[in-house]
Amino acid sequence: MTDVDDNHDWYSEETATFGDRLAAAREAAKLSQKGLAQRVGVKNSTMRNWENDLSEPRANRLSILAGILGVSLSWLLTGEGEGVEAPEEEDQVAPDMTVLLTELRSVRAQMAVSAERLALLEKRFRAVGKS
């Protein structure tokens, strides 16, 4: 764990989302999504939604996450404070790739929302077919 000053650009609000920071802290703690979800007391799908920025945990869960992951609550939310070290230089993404990563995150989030909507429509379709 390190102070965010060393990694300001990597985990700042401008370059990383809450989900990015949560996933980075989980990986640094060598926990799987499922393992962290169990320790926090939520479903694996809830943890996945948090990491994919489809939803956010309530304040009590945020405190639990910060404690388990050994990062500050402030760092999880904003990238300011005690957090994890940035990836090694060879693992870092070139600055011009940041735009592509942002677009990929957006498309991923849209796909997840669409998949949930599709599942609900299929459920309604089956219900209508049974009537």
The topology (CATH level 3) of 2-90 is: 434 Repressor (Amino-terminal Domain) (1.10.260)
Instruction: Give the whole-number percent of the chain exceeding pLDDT 90.
Output: 32
* 3-state secondary structure at position 9: helix
In tens, the pLDDT along 94-107 reads: 666 667 777 777 77
Structural domain boundaries of the chain? 2-90, 93-131
In tens, the pLDDT along 55-86 reads: 999 999 999 999 999 999 888 888 888 887 76
* 3-state secondary structure at position 2: strand
Short-list 84, 103, 75, CA closest to 18: 75
Instruction: Give the whole-number percent of the chain exceeding pLDDT 70.
Output: 78
In tens, the pLDDT along 17-41 reads: 889 889 989 988 999 999 999 999 9
Q: At what angle do helices 33-40 and 44-51 cross, to 10 degrees?
A: 110
